[in-house]
Structure 1
Amino acid sequence: MHPEAFSLALSFLDYLGIGVFAISGALLAAEKRQTLVTFIFFAVVTGVGGGTLRDLLIGAPVFWVYRNATLMICIGAALITWVVSRRMIAERALLWFDAVGLGAYATYGAAKALSFGVAPVPAFVMGVLTACAGGIIRDVLAGEPSILMRPELYVTAAALSSGLLVGLPYLGVPPDPAALIAAAAGFALRGLAIARGWALPTYSN
């Protein structure tokens, strides 16, 4: 696969991940009752943070620098969140938007790494990094506890999506179905963790 010749499914997951992560960043700014400038800043940082680190590590052109659509999506997400009344936003909306982005972006990140010749195990790591780094940066900037310091299933869900994207083709699953299965599985695991409070066991010794 040529590095930029992604299928319709993977391109959809790319833009979906950017959009929902941007919304999650803007929602955190809303919770903090910040200005419109902060809304946009948080949307951009969350939307492109993970993908930027991925591209720098795999030697790819940083994706948002060479196209207008990415930043326009982030700014649009911030503006929509700004004008929507808080009463119309579910209390846990940030968590659910984050869950959608997690599955989509972990899948796309692993696929892009593979397309640039990255070996399967590092590509798996790139998928997890793509999905998690933007949210971690967002939380650190907002003074929120990093998701890495909480036992809830978050990185695990990203790892599931990334691992399935890398592994399913070895079982004969075509690329597009593999991508959609991987993204859905990560979202499902994260969604169950949100709904049922699932978490990893913590160290107790």
Structure 2
Amino acid sequence: MLQQLFSPSVQHTLDIVGIFVFAISGALLAVRKNFDVFGIAVLAEVTALGGGLFRDLVIGATPAAFADLGYFLAPLLATVLVFFLHPEVERTQGAVNAFDAAGLGLFCVTGTTKAYDYGLGLTASAVLGMATAVGGGVLRDILANEVPSLLRWDRDLYAVPAIVGAAMVALCIRYEVLTPLTSGLAAVTAFVLRLLAMHYHWRAPRAWNRRSRVAEEDLLSPDPSSAG
């Protein structure tokens, strides 16, 4: 199977590390939103596992989170860490962002290969690989009552690096050159693109000829004629 690019122990370790760093980002947002400890744990779990659960439900697989206790415990560990040490964790936000970018690169690769293993076409597999990488973050923002970062023009590119990594994997499958080396290259490419986007604040373009702040304020402000 394509998914067995690495030994099971290496694959499991990479998954746990990715889940852990995604969970930290969810837990930190919960702290900023002043959630209680249960809310912190929920947001950590959803951020870490949401993308993988969505992928597994789409392809009809038993969600990995329900087959391995470690997948649940890693976000709980992140919850405890952030609950007690969130000022220190906040100070290492640069490192957290780097690990988050690494998780993004890893999950867009594993998501694409798993989707293809379950019979999806190359395009659908790449899309699901991207969803695996970013789905948890979307659910995190929705639960925190925020517009998902994925949809905000004022946030650095997030989905684009995942799309690039997933597309590279799909092309490697298409030309039968998917190996640990090429899959690692795809993950590293997504990782580096995400780091560059954060460093240089790369953002996707908005609608052509979009009027800037004045138009935005007009859209966001209530219509005076509708006031009672």
TM-score between the two structures when normalised by the length of structure 2 = 0.81
Aligned to 1:75: 76
Determine if contact 2:54/2:132 at 8 Å carries over to the other structure. yes
Unmatched tracts of structure 2, length 5 or more: 210-228
Residues 12, 111 of structure 1: CA spacing in aligned structure 2 closer, same or farther, 3 A cutoff?
farther
Equivalent residue, structure 2, for 1:190 = 194
Partner residue in 1 for 2:208: 204
Q: Deviations over 1:108-138 (max 9, x none)?
A: 1111111212211111011011011110010
CA contact 1:10–1:176 (8 Å) conserved in 2 = no
Give the paired residue count.
204
Which SS does the other structure have where 1:102 is aligned?
helix
Tell me the CA shift for residue 30 of structure 1.
Answer: 2.2
What's the CA shift string for 1:27-64, capped at 9, x where partnerless? 11122232221221111111111111101111111111
Deviations 1:58-77 (A, max 9, x none): 11111111221100111111
Unaligned runs of 5+ in 1: none
User: Percent identity between the aligned chains?
Assistant: 32
Cα separation, partners in 2 of 1:90 and 1:100, compared to 1, 3 Å: farther
Residue 60 to residue 111, structure 1, CA distance change in 2 (3 Å): same
CA distance in 1: counterparts of 2:36 and 2:98, whole angstroms: 23
Counterpart of 1:113 (choices 105, 112, 115) is: 115
Assess if the C-alpha contact under 8 Å between 2:115 and 2:125 holds in 1: yes
Largest Rg, 1 or 2: 2
C-alpha distance in structure 2 between counterparts of 1:133 and 1:202, whole Å:
22
In the alignment, residue 34 of structure 1 is paired with which amino acid?
F
- Separation in 2, partners of 1:166, 1:13: 20
- Which residue of the other structure, out of 123, 136, 160, is the alignment partner of 1:134? 136
SS for the counterpart of 2:194 is helix
Query: Which residue pairs with 1:90 in the alignment?
Result: 91
Q: State the distance in 2 between where 1:24 and 1:97 align.
A: 10
Letter in 2 for 1:69: G
What is the aligned partner in structure 1 of residue 26 from structure 2? Answer: 25
Aligned to 1:47: 48
- For the 8 Å contact 1:50–1:130, the answer to whether it is kept is yes
How does the TM-score come out when normalised to structure 1?
Answer: 0.89
Q: CA RMSD in A?
A: 2.1
